[in-house]
Amino acid sequence: MLKRFIAYYKPHRKVFALDMLASLIISIIGMVYPIFSRGMLNDLIPNRKFQLLVIYGVTLMALYILRMLMRYYVQYYGHVMGVGMQAQMRSDMFNKLETLPYAFFDDHETGKIMSRMTNDLMDVSELAHHGPENILISGIMIIGSFIYLCTISIPLTLIIFACVPILVAVSLIFRKKMREAFTESRKSIAVINAALESSISGIRVTKAFTNADKESEKFEDGNRQFVTARKKAYHAMAQFHSSTSFITDVFNVVVLIAGGIFLYNGKITFGDYSAFIVSVNQFIGPVNTLIGFMEQYQNGVTGFERFLEIMDQEPEKENPNARDIENVQGAIMLDDVSFAYDETKEVLRNVTLNIEKGKTLALVGPSGGGKTTICHLIPNFYKAESGHIYIDGVDINDITFKSLRRSIGIVQQDVFLFNGSIRENILYGRLDATEEEVIEAAKRANIHDYVMTLENGYDTQIGERGVKLSGGQ
């Protein structure tokens, strides 16, 4: 998984490298203040070196201006990089969805898929940007602070850092619990999105049958699942943050008491003690950053895992030896075809059917009898369990999906129009059609005269699912 995640950094190598360099500069500048303050208290002020005191101040100001510029780069270009990676992942997921078979969409609700493409990938984007940056800055600050503290007093430093193993242990204990909680939370968000998408798409049917209360009840069920999952996630977070916060507070108590004892016994100077307190606080800051990063990490990893679940789905499998079919005459034959949507739901059994070219055939039967299934098998949307289907004597498995489906005109049971213009929807059947062919298709559908009465003609926007048109139109 890590290798696949890192691959998305490749198009942004330059920005990422500069982002890491800027982060390095930020972390180094952050360690300068305790060094300067120690020198001032131990040397400059006691020895009245006021000229050097001014130089120290000017130098610090210059370094802070540089840090400001570096932070601007990290904040702006780092986020732009994250958005770019998010956009690429979203494109990859969309392109993957276009290759998946009908069966996938039978088992996955639209709202849940949308949740993976939006909420999940936003968390992945935040992890992609802040993850390396937080690890680098915090890591350098922690290591740098430890080394500097050792230059003041190794025994005192070792006493203070005795708390670190406890902090690490607490983090590891809660890591698994937080990951499980955030996974459940992600699933609950997907459930809400699915319910919302379904309810909004069917809002006209809901109003027609006055079933608003029923839809509200269904949505509230999903909403309650979300609240329960989030409570579980927040409970794990609260345990984690309260425990780690207590340990960092213990750091301060240990520094105050142990440092005071060392100062009282003359083991360190007042300047050393002051620098020690500042350095420990600088150590605790990055530690708290990494602790807070745990939540972001869990969100991002969970989101990327859900992204990979889609990317690892098996696409429609086309025969590698499949060829394009040309000059289709329209003869269709089903030879001993059987099909089942699952092991317990056999729809067709040993069906043999011969439709001669130029003939019109109506399939009549009860609901669930397999009429629509046959229409879905002919374009190879589903694979027959056994038997063969032929177009002009050629097995459909030996024909490329593209040429097979372009040779078949389909009017679905549920009318679907894309949000766009009338021209764009007519062109959907053949994107390279000429204007004359678009008009001819409209005339054959008996809508040309109506279209010409509209102010914008074929450029008229029809709205989502064609809501701006009447049912007949």
Residue-wise pLDDT tens digits, 272-298: 888 888 777 777 778 777 777 877 888
| Interaxial angle between packed helices 50-99 and 32-39, expressed in degrees from 0 to 180 and rounded to the nearest 10 | 170
281 and 355 housed in the same domain: no
CA angle, 29 then 33 then 39, to 5°? 130
Asked if residue 285 belongs to a domain, the reply is yes
Assess whether pLDDT exceeds 60 at residue 10: yes
Range of the domain at 462: 422-466
pLDDT of 471 > 60? The answer is: no
| DSSP-based helix, strand, coil % in the chain, nearest 5 | 70, 5, 20
| pTM confidence score | 0.67
pLDDT tens per residue, range 50-107: 788 788 889 889 999 999 999 999 889 988 898 899 889 999 998 998 888 888 887 7
Residue 126 pLDDT greater than 60, yes or no: yes
Residues 257 and 381 in one domain: no
354 forms bridges with which residues in the sheet? 333
Question: What is the CATH classification number for the domain harbouring 349?
Answer: 3.40.50.300
For residue 451, is it within any domain?
Answer: yes
Q: What is the DSSP letter of 315?
A: P
3-state secondary structure of 343: coil
Q: Is residue 275 part of a domain?
A: yes
Q: What is the pLDDT of residue 35?
A: 78
pLDDT, position 141: 82
Residue 157 confidence (pLDDT) above 80:
yes
Most confident of 174-178, 237-241, 349-353: 349-353
- Residues 235, 345 within the same domain: no
* Other beta carbons less than 10 A from residue 287's beta carbon: 22
Please tell me the predicted confidence (pLDDT) of residue 416: 65
Considering the domain architecture, whether residues 231 and 281 belong to the same structural domain is answered as: yes
Predicted local confidence at residue 15, as pLDDT: 92
Asked, for residue 413, whether it belongs to a domain, the answer is: no
Stretch 402-422: mean pLDDT, rounded? 77
354 in a structural domain: yes
The mean pLDDT value of the chain amounts to: 82
Distance CA 285, CA 279 (A): 10
pLDDT (0 to 100) of residue 62: 93
Tell whether 213 and 348 lie within a shared domain.
no
Q: Residue 407 pLDDT more than 80?
A: yes
- The pLDDT of 342-364, averaged and rounded, is 85
Residues 266 and 354 placed together within one structural domain of the fold: no
pLDDT at residue 155 greater than cutoff 60: yes
Angle CA 30–32–38, to nearest 5: 130
Can you give the CATH number for the domain in which 275 is found?
1.20.1560.10
Q: Please check whether residue 326 lies inside any domain of the structure.
A: no
Q: What is the DSSP letter of 106?
A: H
CB 232 within 8 A of CB 181: yes
Answer yes or no: is pLDDT of 218 > 80.
no
* Residue that terminates a domain, selected from 311, 341, 374: 311
Please state, in angstroms and rounded to a whole number, the distance separating the CA atoms of residues 121 and 123. 5
- On the CB side of 13, CA atoms within 13 Å amount to 3
Residues 374 and 351: beta-carbon distance below 8 Å: yes
Specify the pLDDT at position 68: 93
Pair 283, 385 in one domain: no
SS3 140: helix
CB atoms within 10 A of CB 32: 15
- 348 in the same domain as 246: no
Q: In this prediction, what percent of the chain has a pLDDT beyond 70? A: 90
The pLDDT assigned to 66 comes to 94
Range list of β-strands (E), 103-200: none
Identity of the residue numbered 434? T
- Please indicate whether residue 115 or residue 434 has the higher confidence score (pLDDT): 434
* 149 and 265 belong to one structural domain: yes
Count of domains for the chain: 3
Same domain membership, residue 352 and residue 219: no
Query: Does residue 472 lie within any of the structural domains?
Result: no
- Separation in Å, CA 40 to CA 53, 67, 145, 299, 454: 7, 22, 19, 45, 81
Q: Are the beta carbons of 354 and 394 closer than 8 angstroms?
A: no
From the list 252, 274, 6, 308, the residue with the least C-alpha distance to 128 is 6
When pLDDT is averaged across residues 196-213 and rounded to a whole number, the result is: 65
Residue 395 sits in the same domain as residue 284? no
Phi, psi (degrees; rounded to nearest 5) at 456: -105, 10
pLDDT category at 41 given cuts 50, 70, 90 is confident
Q: Cβ contacts of residue 42 below 8 Å, gap of 6+?
A: 269, 271, 272
**DSSP E strands: which ranges in 87-159?**
none
Cα-based angle 127, 132, 137 (whole degrees, multiple of 5): 125
Per-residue model confidence (pLDDT) at position 312: 92
In a domain, 357, yes or no: yes
Q: 113 and 240, same structural domain?
A: yes
